[in-house]
Structure formats: structure tokens, C-alpha cells
């Protein structure tokens, strides 16, 4: 059987720096666990614009459509700020997400014990936290028609439309139930069925998908505003949260910040299953290209490394290896190794981007022996 395939798109700024550390990890899994990937690399963002005059070539997009998983660093930078809108680095990212029809956005909020004091919440509220927000990504109020700013009488009116079809709700609900089966088997669906018809439909469809296809998963429903309160009050009550595009945007940022630094946050965007049964998938850190620290060895590679752990779990069915990688990250953090963004009042051993990557590889080695 062919090796699983990965397309790496390092992008701009710290993207290539953090991706270099992921390469070390991928090589380790090939050499030490017999998990060999066919890895190819291409350009996206400003790097693609510099080489080809566009932020994503058709060839790179075609590759992304055929591999088992895409790993992306980050795009953007001040050098490209004055480009035409269609040529900006971020357009490359939007195009790849849209063309791959990645409708299910996974944002974990996981708090490593060693970093629990980084959260603005009390240690006992966040230590050991491990929840997953599944946000619908390609529909809802960010896309619904009519939209625009119109004139009515003497004044202007701004309009956006929240619109969801049953099939759009059902597919993201399935994605959440599938995830829950690999985790703690619990889904909480959030909407505003008390005031929005789209919310009533959302609740009905999620319940129907549950009853007909996933009765073994525990399902609850919560209004999104109450969900926001519960996330801050006692986030550990949740396992998987599934919600629409707008609420997901807000709730996932809120949940992410429960855990501390931007340099720690991975994400995945999943689409429909391909012929081999794997979902189309793009994995990327939540952070951007961080031009303020690029090229100085200061970037934290953990968000990108944890994105690869998500790829192991959700694209390659390698949950045990994903656990192994997350354990290695936990180990180096527990030893006090800190990139600059993780330096809190309690101090720690300052390390560069590549030293952090090397330490995680060493922890993998120690764990495997
Ligand atoms: P950013 O995420 O790049 O940086 C915000 C702050 O967090 C900066 O101070 C940065 O130094 C720090 N930071 C980010 N990632 C870090 C890491 N791994 N380790 C240590 N510190 C880290 O956001 P920004 O400054 O608003 O945007 C910079 C550029 O990135 C812009 O061009 C923006 O459009 C782009 N951007 C891209 C993406 C993406 O590629 N997905 C996401 C957000 C922003």
C-alpha cells in the first residue's frame, strides 16, 4: 500500500521556521515508528506571490486536493500589505479552504498542566482541560444572501443573512459525532433556538442525526450565550461542542484563550470524505506569520507540531502516535523549557524554535525506549 501523503505549505514569516520543526517530527515517526509519509512541499501566500505572482498556484491547489493531508504554516507580512486584494497572501489561504470545501473547523482547547498558570482563569478550572470546538466554516451569516449595505428612505441599512440548509447542518453534526466517538463520547450543540429560526432547524437536525446515526453518543443542547458563560465558569463539563460559523468564531477564540498562548494552539479544517474514506483535511496553527519575531528563532513551534498531532489522529487514524506526540510536548513543558512567548513570572529555561523542536524529538526518543 502507498505511504500516506502530506503536502507541506510553510508560507511566510515564522511559517517556514515552525514547519522545519514539524519536519523533524515527521522524520522521527518515519525512522522510529515505521510511519513513513510521502511528503511534498509547495508555496502559499507571499512566498507564492514572490515566485509566481499569485498567492496560490493552480498546481499547488491541485496537489492539495489529492494528498491525504495538507499542513500549513502561516501566511502574510507587511511586505504584501499594498498588493491588490486578490493577490494578498491571505487570499491564498481563503482559496484553498474554499476549493477544498472544508466545512468543519476543529479548534481544540487543551491546557497542559505546566502552563495552567498562563490562563486568566484559576488553575483548577483549566488544568487538564481538553475540549474540542467544531465550527461550521462554509455557510451561515458570513455567506448568506442577501447581504450588503443598502439605502432605505433616508438612511442606510446593513444586512447579513443567517442561512443554513439541513444538509449543511447534518454534515457538520456528523463530523462532531465522529470526533466525539474518538474522544469522550459527548457532544453539546450550541445555537440560539430561542430567538432564531435557523437555530430551531439546527437543533432539530442535530438531534435527528444523533437519534438515527449516533444514539450511543451523549448529546445535549445549549443556547450559545449560556454556552459562553459555561465555558468560562467550568469548561471541563464539555467534550465536543458543535456550533455554527458565527457562534463558533467567537466561542472558539474564547475557549482557546482559556489555555494561554497563541503559540500553543493547533487547528484542523475537514471536508467531505475522499475515495479512500479519509476526509479532505488541512491542519494549521491558529497563529499568523508573526512578522515581529520572524527570522529570530523566537517562534514557538508547538502550535504547528500539535497540528501535526491532529493530522495523525484525524487523517491517519494514529491516535496512539498522536497521544505519544502530545505526551512529548507535555514532557518538555514540564521540564520548564520555554520559548519566549511562554516565559511567565515563574521563569523557565529559555529555548529557541529549533531547540524546542529538538527537545520534543528527544522526548519522543525517551518515551519510545
Ligand atoms: P500573529 O498571530 O502573526 O501574531 C500575533 C502576536 O502573537 C505577535 O506578537 C506574534 O509575535 C505572536 N505569535 C504568533 N505566533 C507565535 C508563535 N508561534 N510563537 C511566538 N509568538 C507568536 O497575528 P498578526 O500579528 O495579527 O498578523 C501577522 C500577519 O499574519 C498578518 O499578515 C496577518 O494577516 C497574518 N495572519 C495569518 C494567519 C494565517 O496564516 N492563518 C492568521 C492570522 C494572521
Say what the pLDDT of residue 119 is.
84
Ligand 1 pocket residue status of 45, Cβ below 6 Å? no
Ligand 1 pocket residue status of 90, Cβ below 6 Å? yes
Q: Mean pLDDT in the chain?
A: 95
Bridge-based pairing state of the strands 144-152 and 240-243 = unpaired
Cα of 76 from ligand 1 centre, angstroms: 9
Ligand 1 pocket residue status of 303, Cβ below 6 Å? yes
Q: Where are the beta strands (DSSP E) in 176-278?
A: 186-191, 218-223, 240-243, 266-273
| Mean pLDDT across 202-210 | 98
Q: Which of 49, 88, 192, 280 is catalytic?
A: 192
Ligand 1 pocket residue status of 282, Cβ below 6 Å? no
Ligand 1 pocket residue status of 299, Cβ below 6 Å? yes
- pLDDT tens-digit profile of 31-44? 999 999 999 999 99
| Mean pLDDT across 48-67 | 97
- Domain ranges in the chain are 1-108+265-369, 130-258
Compute the C-alpha angle 279/282/285, nearest 5°: 140
- Whether residue 369 is predicted with pLDDT greater than 70 in this model: the reply is no
Q: Which of 63, 130, 142, 358 is catalytic?
A: 142
Q: What is the largest CA-CA distance in the chain?
A: 75
Ligand 1 pocket residue status of 288, Cβ below 6 Å? yes
Cα of 237 from ligand 1 centre, angstroms: 30
- Whole-structure pTM value: 0.92
**Terminal CA-to-CA distance of the chain, rounded, Å?**
28
Contacts of 51 (CB under 8 A, 6+ apart): 43
Q: 113 an active-site residue?
A: no
Q: Where are the beta strands (DSSP E) in 69-152?
A: 69-74, 104-110, 130-136, 144-152
To which residue does cell 475522499 refer? 274
Compute the C-alpha angle 19/22/23, nearest 5°: 90
Phi-psi region of 219 (alpha: psi -120 to 50; beta: other; left: phi over 0): beta
The residue contributing the CA closest to ligand 1 atom 10 is 290
The residue contributing the CA closest to ligand 1 atom 17 is 263
Q: Of the residues 261, 290, 298, 304, which should be mutated to test ligand 1's pocket, given the most ligand atoms within 8 Å of the CB?
A: 290
Say what the pLDDT of residue 88 is.
95
Ligand 1 pocket residue status of 110, Cβ below 6 Å? no
| Mean pLDDT across 50-64 | 98
> What atom of ligand 1 comes closest to residue 74's alpha carbon?
40
| Mean pLDDT across 201-222 | 98
Domains 1-108+265-369 and 130-258 equal at CATH topology level: yes
With a pLDDT cut of 90, the percent of the chain lying above it is: 85
Q: Of the residues 289, 292, 350, 351, which should be mutated to test ligand 1's pocket, given the most ligand atoms within 8 Å of the CB?
A: 289
Q: 192 an active-site residue?
A: yes
CATH topology of domain 130-258: Isopropylmalate Dehydrogenase (3.40.718)
CATH class of 1-108+265-369: alpha beta
| Mean pLDDT across 240-248 | 97
- Whether residue 368 is predicted with pLDDT greater than 90 in this model: the reply is no
Task: Note the Cα 131 to chain centre separation in Å.
Answer: 13
C-alpha cell of residue 363: 522526548
| Mean pLDDT across 177-184 | 93
Ligand 1 pocket residue status of 289, Cβ below 6 Å? yes
Question: In this predicted structure, which of 52-66, 172-186, 198-212, 339-353 has the lowest mean pLDDT?
Answer: 339-353
- Find out whether 352 and 18 touch, Cβ atoms under 8 Å: no
222-235: buried (b, 16+ CB within 10 Å) or exposed (e) per residue? bbbeebbebbeeeb
If pLDDT is split at 50, 70 and 90, which confidence band does 238 have? very high
Ligand 1 pocket residue status of 326, Cβ below 6 Å? no
CA distances from 127 to 160, 178, 332 (A): 39, 26, 17
Amino acid at each position: 500500500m502507498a505511504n500516506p501523503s502530506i503536502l507541506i505549505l510553510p508560507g511566510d514569516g515564522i511559517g517556514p521556521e515552525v514547519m522545519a520543526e514539524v519536519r523533524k517530527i515527521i522524520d522521527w515517526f518515519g525512522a522510529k515508528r515505521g510511519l513513513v509519509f510521502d511528503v511534498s512541499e509547495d508555496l502559499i501566500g507571499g512566498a507564492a506571490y514572490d515566485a509566481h505572482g499569485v498567492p496560490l498556484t493552480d498546481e499547488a491547489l491541485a496537489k492539495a486536493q489529492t494528498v491525504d493531508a495538507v499542513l500549513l504554516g502561516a501566511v502574510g507580512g507587511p511586505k504584501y500589505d499594498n498588493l491588490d486584494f486578490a493577490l494578498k497572501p491571505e487570499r491564498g489561504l481563503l482559496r484553498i479552504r474554499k476549493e477544498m470545501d472544508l466545512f468543519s473547523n476543529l479548534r481544540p482547547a487543551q491546557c497542559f498542566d505546566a502552563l495552567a498558570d498562563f490562563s486568566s482563569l484559576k488553575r483548577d478550572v483549566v488544568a487538564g482541560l481538553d475540549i474540542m470546538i467544531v465550527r461550521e466554516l462554509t455557510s451561515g451569516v458570513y455567506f448568506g444572501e442577501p447581504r450588503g449595505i443598502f439605502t432605505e428612505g433616508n438612511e442606510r441599512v446593513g444586512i447579513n443573512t443567517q442561512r443554513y440548509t439541513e444538509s449543511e447542518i447534518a454534515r457538520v453534526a456528523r463530523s462532531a459525532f465522529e470526533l466525539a466517538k474518538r474522544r469522550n463520547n459527548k457532544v453539546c450543540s450550541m445555537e440560539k433556538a430561542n430567538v432564531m429560526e435557523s437555530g430551531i432547524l439546527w437543533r432539530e437536525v442535530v438531534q435527528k442525526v444523533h437519534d438515527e446515526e449516533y444514539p450511543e453518543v451523549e448529546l445535549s443542547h445549549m443556547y450559545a450565550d449560556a454556552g459562553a458563560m459555561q465555558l468560562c465558569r467550568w469548561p471541563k463539563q464539555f467534550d465536543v461542542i458543535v456550533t455554527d460559523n458565527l457562534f463558533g468564531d467567537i466561542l472558539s477564540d474564547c475557549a482557546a484563550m482559556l489555555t494561554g498562548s497563541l503559540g500553543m494552539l493547533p487547528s484542523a479544517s475537514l471536508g467531505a470524505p475522499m475515495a479512500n474514506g479519509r476526509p479532505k483535511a488541512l491542519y494549521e496553527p491558529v497563529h499568523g506569520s508573526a512578522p515581529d519575531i520572524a527570522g529570530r528563532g523566537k517562534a514557538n513551534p508547538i502550535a504547528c507540531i500539535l497540528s501535526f498531532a491532529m493530522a495523525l489522529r484525524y487523517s491517519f487514524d494514529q491516535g496512539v502516535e498522536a497521544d505519544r506526540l502530545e505526551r512529548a510536548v507535555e514532557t518538555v513543558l514540564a521540564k520548564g523549557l520555554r520559548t519566549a512567548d511562554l516565559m511567565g513570572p515563574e521563569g523557565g529555561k529559555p529555548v529557541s524554535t529549533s531547540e524546542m523542536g529538538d527537545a520534543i524529538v528527544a522526548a519522543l526518543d525517551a518515551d519510545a525506549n
